[in-house]
Amino acid sequence: MHTVAPTPGSARPHYGWVVVAVTFLTMLVTAGAVGAPGVLIAPFAREFGWSNAEISSALAVRLVLFGLLGPFAAAFMNRFGVRRVAAVALTLIAAGIAGSLAMTEIWHLLLLWGFVVGIGTGLTAMVLGATVATRWFVARRGLVLGLLSASTATGQLVFLPLLATLTERYGWRAALALILAMLAVAVLAVLTLMRDRPSDLGLRPYGATAAAPPPPAPQSLGAMLASPLLALREASTSVTFWVLFGTFFVCGASTNGLVQTHFVSLCGDYGIGSVAAAGMLAVIGVFDLVGTIGSGWLSDRYDGRWLLFWYYGLRGLSLLFLPFSDFTFYGLSLFAVFYGLDWVATVPPTVKLTADRFGERANLVFGWVFAGHQLGAACAAYGAGFSRTVYASYLPAFFIAGGLCLIAAAALVLIRDRRPAAVVAGAAA
């Protein structure tokens, strides 16, 4: 098939930007659903009498599945296509949220928010953005990764003030109804506008000078399910993989597992209302949009190892500062600006380092790296809830997260070899 590729600066817009827009919306809405429990912990505790630790354990299951399904989500996208997988994922999330409108027992929360929503969000996760960026873009790939990464954090944070307001005025079920409406819009956009590959439209990836290789032949079900495990076996021989896995574990523990899940409740301990606290999270989300898109731009130009060193170091310092902010408007605003610029700025350089070193299996390997992110998030989500229940304070969890960020910054010096892991393994053999 003859393919064409409008080059950067061409008058004809490339359809890849439409796919990016649909992916941005999908990840934005999915992230809004993931972030919703941040304002629901207190309402759940008041209405059902559940403890903070019980609620946090159910939310931790969601985060574990969100991460562990990442590598298999990449395999599903390779086998069934991005469009089908995204539509199924959004439908599952909607089913879990709709079912929770009638829940009355803690096991209902565990089943619906832990497993159903966890599986639905895990089928997209950050792997969706990485897959779209690598398939549709050669030029501007870092910028696209930054934009799509920002959509995740923005969705998790910017919607929270609206959800908090709806919860305060009309109850938490009204907030979930809004999420269901947004999910319906996202499903419609995916079904009408999403395409799996540029070749489906007779196009090359944006900025490509040669035709993209043809899609691989469909795998059998067994081979498809085995491919993430084979990718893990190959990647696990590389120090680079374990450094990226470990630092992304810290990334998850210091962002959506801790701040996204417990920041509103933490502020409540200091007399700050849920709407005001959610508004501060929205400020974090706005600055994250700037920081992460900027990080994508920087990732196209500078060594990702040094970018990650500064990102993790500055995030650690901001988390260690938070307990000393006295939770005043000025102190929290200062935290929101510096922490927000760094919320998921780690994603573009992490994806780029993974692509540089693992080649064709990059999306599968990144799925495992992202699994580390969500395992860290799950540990922090439960650990902070446990700290609040047992010690009547969230602050130990914030001190631990800040220290882990500084350790992650130091660990990046271990990434030395720039060759793909398969090449390194072959040379060693």
pLDDT digits (tens, 9 = 90+) for 185-201: 999 999 999 998 888 88
Output the pLDDT for position 360: 65
Output the pLDDT for position 154: 67
Query: What is the pTM assigned to this prediction?
Result: 0.71
pLDDT per position as a tens digit, 140-173: 877 787 788 777 666 666 677 788 888 888 888 9
Question: Percent of the chain scored above 70 by pLDDT?
Answer: 89
For the chain, the maximum distance between any two Cα atoms, rounded to a whole number of angstroms, is 65
CA distance 290 to 228: 33
Give Cα separations from 241 to 30, 207, 218, 246, 368 (angstroms): 27, 28, 27, 8, 9
- pLDDT reading at 218 higher than 70: no
Q: At what angle do helices 141-158 and 274-299 cross, to 10 degrees?
A: 180
Output the pLDDT for position 308: 93
Task: Give me the residue label for tokens 């922090």.
Answer: 380
Closest CA to 149 of 285, 300, 303, 8: 285
Winning range, highest mean pLDDT, from 88-97, 211-220, 362-371: 88-97
Closest CA to 234 of 426, 422, 427: 422
Under 8 Å between Cβ of 346 and 251: yes
Q: According to DSSP H, which parts of 199-273 are helical? A: 221-235, 239-253, 261-269
- pLDDT reading at 213 higher than 70: no
Average pLDDT, the chain: 82
How far is CA 328 from its chain centroid? 29
- Lookup: tokens for 186: 């996202």
Q: By three-state DSSP, how is residue 203 classified? A: strand
Q: According to DSSP H, which parts of 322-428 are helical? A: 329-340, 347-358, 362-391, 395-411, 421-428
Closest CA to 96 of 108, 83, 78: 108
- pLDDT reading at 322 higher than 70: yes
CA distance 296 to 299: 5
- pLDDT reading at 427 higher than 50: no
pLDDT per position as a tens digit, 227-263: 888 888 888 888 889 999 999 999 989 987 888 788 8
Least confident residue range of 111-120, 216-225, 400-409? 216-225
Q: What mean pLDDT do residues 41-64 have? A: 82
pLDDT per position as a tens digit, 68-81: 787 788 778 888 88
The helix or strand, by DSSP H or E, that contains position 22, with its residue range, turns out to be helix 16-35
93-96: long-range pairs with CB below 8 Å, 24+:
93/30, 93/33, 93/117, 93/120, 93/121, 93/183, 94/120, 94/180, 94/183, 94/184, 94/187, 95/120, 96/120
Under 8 Å between Cβ of 292 and 345: yes
User: Per 3-state DSSP, what percentage of the chain is helix, strand, and coil (rounded to 5)?
Assistant: 80, 0, 20
Output the pLDDT for position 190: 94
Output the pLDDT for position 124: 79
* Residue scoring higher pLDDT (424 or 290): 290
Under 8 Å between Cβ of 224 and 78: yes
Dihedral of CA atoms 364, 367, 372, 377 in degrees, nearest 10, equals 180
Output the pLDDT for position 318: 93
Q: What mean pLDDT do residues 306-323 have? A: 92
- Lookup: tokens for 108: 């209902």
Output the pLDDT for position 417: 52
* Residue scoring higher pLDDT (414 or 395): 395
Query: Burial level of 217, CB count in 10 A (0-12/13-18/19+)?
Result: exposed
Domains delineated in the chain: 16-197+231-414 (1.20.1250.20)
- Lookup: tokens for 409: 């910054």
Question: Percent of the chain scored above 90 by pLDDT?
Answer: 20
- pLDDT reading at 177 higher than 80: yes
Closest CA to 303 of 242, 361, 350: 350
First-to-last alpha carbon distance for the chain, in angstroms, is 39
Output the pLDDT for position 6: 52
